[in-house]
């Protein structure tokens, strides 16, 4: 999953399989479709078959004319009802329906942004690209049914196209490109993509001996990226096949889109050209999309009872990549999850099992991040060997079937021999998170060692927790876990040397609400503050003007009376800022943000009073003015260096865990 970065639209996984209909899937489409992107003309024919006679309703976009319709080989008269741009055609019971249709597609509009593309469900075509989303009525869908399919494409010779599934044949003849795809599993719908693609291909042999056809369908301007993407896809399929079990499909393709979109589907991912050019996509979201061919497209979540696939995919792709990078990178990701959760308005919180698909930011925080943290805590709880075994068993058992959260729980219980009902119930069904804190800690010498009593509190009703504590002793740091099952509890630890301090969950191994003092201050703390104040320790008129402009873009209703302010924005030239810090008895400018680095530096400080102070230090008034546009986009950062309007470096301060000093 691509996180929304500066100026980049978010990628969304368009995975949805209505579970209720899966069991009854016995419908098959055999589609032939001819598309002329230059004129947007589409002509199609479909033979829909059922294993037993069924009365069905067909859905076809109102932009098409139905040229013929036969039920069990007999032409019939029919009436179409028009609902939301779709023709609804109800038919008598039949084993076979033959339909021919034709019409004009919408022109492809490359100026759409990602949000538009997500809500834009018109089938669209142009010489730069064709995207016929499932659900857009580009072919006669059978209402409420999942269906197997084969699709034969017919395109001009300079175009290539595909649908999810296995490539059965393709050839170029008489000025046309033709290709046929089979998808032998129940699918909710069919999406079709075409464009002036250059295809690069590689056949990989997996560890189990099966062959997988890897392809890129790239616009010519990014064709040089193909081999790098093929390398990455091959690496991911190999990795996940070893971790989970054989790759369930015979292909994987990376397909470029002229619009800034991002979709995942079985056997392929469809990403905007600009997105594919971003250097980090191959290392992050591509792996996430490949993994969905196991979790989501290989085992289907029971959507009515909650979608586990985004959390498990985030944990085994995005998060696992960070873990492989370094423990610090993994900790930084857990910190980002907990910081986002701490900043989320409480009213938007919800139980994880209410998450079905991503619609807005809060559902990402719960459905992706909290869910990934659940798997992280579960691995801590049962150990890596049992965790990995459970996932392999789960995969083997539920391949191409629906599975719920409780099916997952059973797999983990079988592999670990533990009852996990409390664990899953508290993290799935409850809204909120524990408010953990150290309430007291006392030490005394006992025999040759020391005894430490630590009292922890967590709020009510309590969670059942195994709380990691780091104990700083005269003989070094010792890690322990203590059980906490009530709203308050005392644990007694035997230690070999004198304890000096206790640190609560310093590695952020628990899903919990970070205390205000734990979360590193970030710009957004100031931007969301209720009573911000602006301080300009400079009399220069140009600096004053630039500072007011910056404040108006970052803060709402800032005034210059700072006594009661919850947040301070202090803006000035280098010498003014350094002098102000000294006058206020605050820590001097961090060495890494020396005036010589870039034309302006921005950093956050949490003052002793608890309020967040944001310092903006610039070389001159022009450097200050250059910040007002870019700076508000960096709410997640603790510090930044700018050269003019260009961000050069950024980062967040490390977590500041709760420390109880004993001596």
Examine residue 461 and say whether the peptide bond preceding it is cis (omega within 30 degrees of 0). Answer: yes
Residue with Cβ nearer Zn ion (295 or 634)? 295
Helices in 244-319 by DSSP H: which ranges? 273-277, 285-291, 309-314
- Evaluate the CA torsion angle 88, 92, 94, 100 in order and state its sign: negative
Distance between CA 602 and CA 549 in Å, rounded? 16
Closest CA to 649 of 657, 641, 638: 641
Shortest distance, CB of residue 285 to Zn ion, whole angstroms? 9
Stretch that binds Zn ion, among 6-14, 52-60, 62-70, 447-455 (CB under 5 A): 6-14
- 76-85 burial, b at 16+ Cβ within 10 Å, e below that, comes to eeeebeeeee
Asked if residue 429 lies in contact with residue 421, where contact means CB atoms within 8 angstroms, the answer is no
Question: Under the criterion CB under 5 A, does residue 286 sit at the interface with Zn ion?
Answer: no
Stretch that binds Zn ion, among 12-20, 57-65, 316-324, 567-575 (CB under 5 A): 12-20
Question: Under the criterion CB under 5 A, does residue 271 sit at the interface with Zn ion?
Answer: no
Residue with Cβ nearer Zn ion (13 or 577)? 13
Measure Cα distances from 28 to 49, 58, 96, 139 in Å. 5, 13, 10, 13
Stretch that binds Zn ion, among 8-16, 143-151, 482-490, 499-507 (CB under 5 A): 8-16
- What values do phi and psi take at 589, rounded to 5? -50, 130
Shortest distance, CB of residue 206 to Zn ion, whole angstroms? 22
Residues in contact with Zn ion, counted by CB under 5 A, come to a total of 2
Shortest distance, CB of residue 3 to Zn ion, whole angstroms? 12
Shortest distance, CB of residue 403 to Zn ion, whole angstroms? 16
Where do we find the tokens 């740091």?
A: 477
Measure Cα distances from 523 to 342, 520, 558, 605, 639 in Å. 14, 10, 15, 10, 8
Residue with Cβ nearer Zn ion (3 or 509)? 3
Distance between CA 520 and CA 654 in Å, rounded? 6
- Evaluate the CA torsion angle 378, 381, 384, 385 in order and state its sign: negative
Question: Under the criterion CB under 5 A, does residue 13 sit at the interface with Zn ion?
Answer: yes
Asked if residue 614 lies in contact with residue 523, where contact means CB atoms within 8 angstroms, the answer is yes
Residue with Cβ nearer Zn ion (180 or 282)? 282
- What values do phi and psi take at 584, rounded to 5? -85, 0
Residue with Cβ nearer Zn ion (313 or 652)? 313
Kindly state the tokens that stand for 155: 């395109």
Site for Zn ion in 127-146 (CB under 5 A): none
Residue with Cβ nearer Zn ion (13 or 163)? 13
Q: In degrees, to the nearest 5, what angle opens at C-alpha 129 toward C-alphas 125 and 134?
A: 65
Residue with Cβ nearer Zn ion (13 or 527)? 13
Stretch that binds Zn ion, among 302-310, 317-325, 495-503, 559-567 (CB under 5 A): 302-310
What is the DSSP-derived secondary structure letter of residue 178? E
Stretch that binds Zn ion, among 225-233, 305-313, 396-404, 429-437 (CB under 5 A): 305-313
Q: Quick one: CA torsion of 108, 109, 115, 119, rounded to 10 degrees?
A: -40
Shortest distance, CB of residue 661 to Zn ion, whole angstroms? 43
Shortest distance, CB of residue 649 to Zn ion, whole angstroms? 30
Shortest distance, CB of residue 638 to Zn ion, whole angstroms? 28
Closest CA to 189 of 395, 394, 29: 29
Shortest distance, CB of residue 260 to Zn ion, whole angstroms? 18
Closest residue to Zn ion: CB criterion: 13
Shortest distance, CB of residue 423 to Zn ion, whole angstroms? 24
Kindly state the tokens that stand for 334: 């857990």
Residue with Cβ nearer Zn ion (309 or 601)? 309
Shortest distance, CB of residue 309 to Zn ion, whole angstroms? 7
Shortest distance, CB of residue 310 to Zn ion, whole angstroms? 5
Distance between CA 407 and CA 310 in Å, rounded? 16
Residue with Cβ nearer Zn ion (33 or 244)? 244
Distance between CA 663 and CA 659 in Å, rounded? 12
Residue with Cβ nearer Zn ion (101 or 395)? 395
Stretch that binds Zn ion, among 13-21, 404-412, 457-465, 549-557 (CB under 5 A): 13-21
Asked if residue 510 lies in contact with residue 621, where contact means CB atoms within 8 angstroms, the answer is no
Residue with Cβ nearer Zn ion (114 or 160)? 114
Shortest distance, CB of residue 355 to Zn ion, whole angstroms? 12
Q: Please state whether beta strands 124-126 and 449-457 pair in parallel, antiparallel, or not at all (unpaired).
A: unpaired
Chain centroid to Cα 536, Å, comes to: 39
Residue with Cβ nearer Zn ion (98 or 293)? 293
Shortest distance, CB of residue 320 to Zn ion, whole angstroms? 14
Where do we find the tokens 């409420």?
A: 144
Site for Zn ion in 307-366 (CB under 5 A): 310
Residue with Cβ nearer Zn ion (13 or 602)? 13
- For 536-543, the CB contacts below 8 A with 24+ separation are 536/560, 536/570, 536/571, 536/572, 537/570, 537/572, 537/576, 537/577, 537/579, 537/580, 538/572, 538/573, 538/576, 540/573, 540/621, 542/621, 543/571, 543/572, 543/573, 543/576, 543/618, 543/621, 543/624
Shortest distance, CB of residue 316 to Zn ion, whole angstroms? 11
Kindly state the tokens that stand for 186: 């129940």
Shortest distance, CB of residue 318 to Zn ion, whole angstroms? 9
Q: Please state whether beta strands 532-535 and 567-573 pair in parallel, antiparallel, or not at all (unpaired).
A: parallel
Shortest distance, CB of residue 305 to Zn ion, whole angstroms? 19
Residue with Cβ nearer Zn ion (12 or 48)? 12
Residue with Cβ nearer Zn ion (103 or 287)? 287
Count of Cβ atoms closer than 10 Å to residue 472 Cβ: 18
Residue with Cβ nearer Zn ion (33 or 286)? 286
Q: Is 148 left (phi over 0), alpha (psi -120 to 50) or beta?
A: beta
Chain contacts with Zn ion (rule: CB under 5 A): 13, 310
């Amino acid at each position: 999953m691509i996180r929304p970065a500066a100026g980049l639209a978010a990628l969304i996984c368009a995975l949805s399989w209505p579970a209720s209909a899966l069991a009854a899937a016995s419908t098959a489409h055999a589609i032939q479709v001819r598309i002329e992107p230059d004129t947007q003309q589409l002509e199609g024919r479909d033979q829909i078959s059922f294993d037993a006679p069924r009365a069905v309703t067909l859905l076809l976009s109102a932009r098409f004319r139905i040229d013929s319709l036969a039920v069990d080989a007999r032409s019939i008269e029919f009436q179409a009802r028009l609902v939301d741009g779709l023709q609804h055609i109800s038919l008598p019971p039949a084993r076979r329906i033959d339909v021919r249709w034709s019409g004009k597609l919408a022109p492809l509009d490359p100026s759409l942004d990602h949000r538009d593309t997500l809500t834009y469900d018109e089938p669209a075509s142009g010489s730069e690209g064709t995207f016929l989303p499932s659900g857009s009525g580009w072919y006669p869908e059978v209402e409420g049914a999942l269906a197997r399919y084969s699709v034969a494409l017919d395109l001009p010779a300079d175009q290539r196209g595909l649908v999810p599934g296995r490539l059965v044949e393709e050839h170029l003849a008489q000025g046309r490109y033709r290709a046929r795809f089979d998808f032998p599993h129940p699918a909710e719908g069919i999406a079709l993509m075409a464009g002036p693609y250059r295809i690069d291909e590689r056949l990989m042999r997996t560890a189990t001996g099966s062959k997988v056809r890897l392809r890129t369908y790239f616009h010519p301007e990014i064709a040089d990226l193909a081999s790098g993407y093929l390398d990455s896809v091959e690496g991911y399929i190999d990795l996940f096949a070893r971790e989970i079990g054989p790759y369930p499909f015979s292909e994987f393709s990376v397909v470029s889109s002229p619009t800034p979109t991002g979709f995942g589907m079985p056997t392929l991912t469809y990403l905007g050209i600009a997105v594919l050019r971003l250097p980090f996509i191959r290392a992050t979201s591509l792996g996430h999309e490949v993994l969905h061919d196991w979790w989501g497209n290989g085992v289907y979540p029971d959507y009515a009872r909650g979608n586990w696939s985004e959390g498990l995919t985030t944990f085994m792709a995005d998060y696992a990549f960070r873990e492989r990078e370094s423990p610090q990178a993994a900790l930084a990701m857990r910190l980002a999850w907990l910081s986002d959760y701490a900043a989320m308005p409480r009213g938007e919180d919800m139980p994880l099992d209410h998450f079905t698909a991503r619609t807005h930011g809060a559902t990402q925080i719960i459905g992706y991040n909290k869910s990934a943290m659940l798997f992280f805590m579960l691995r801590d709880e049962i150990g890596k060997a049992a965790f990995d075994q459970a996932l392999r068993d789960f995969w083997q058992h539920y391949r191409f079937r629906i599975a719920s959260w409780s099916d997952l729980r059973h797999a983990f219980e079988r592999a670990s021999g533990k009852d996990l009902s409390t664990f899953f119930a508290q993290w799935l069904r409850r809204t909120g998170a524990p408010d953990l804190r150290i309430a007291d800690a006392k030490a005394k010498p006992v025999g040759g060692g020391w005894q430490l009593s630590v009292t922890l509190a967590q709020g009510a009703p309590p969670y059942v927790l195994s709380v990691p504590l780091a104990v700083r002793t005269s003989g070094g740091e010792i890690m322990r876990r203590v059980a906490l099952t009530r709203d308050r509890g005392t644990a007694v630890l035997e230690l070999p040397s004198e304890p000096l301090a206790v640190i609560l969950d310093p590695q952020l191994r628990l899903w919990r609400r970070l205390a205000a003092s734990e979360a590193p201050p970030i710009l957004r703390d100031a931007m969301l503050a209720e009573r911000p104040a602006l301080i300009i320790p400079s009399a220069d008129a140009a600096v004053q003007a630039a500072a007011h402009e910056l404040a108006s873009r970052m803060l709402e209703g800032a005034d210059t009376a700072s006594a009661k302010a919850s947040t301070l924005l202090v803006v000035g030239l280098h010498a003014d800022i350094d002098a102000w810090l000294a006058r206020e008895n605050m820590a001097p400018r961090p060495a890494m943000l020396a005036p010589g680095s870039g034309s302006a530096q921005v950093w956050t400080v949490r003052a002793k009073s608890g309020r967040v102070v944001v310092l903006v230090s610039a070389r001159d008034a022009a450097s200050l003015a250059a910040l007002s546009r870019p700076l508000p986009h960096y709410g997640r950062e603790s510090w930044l260096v700018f050269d003019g309007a260009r961000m050069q470096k950024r980062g967040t301060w490390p977590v500041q865990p709760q420390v109880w000093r004993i001596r």
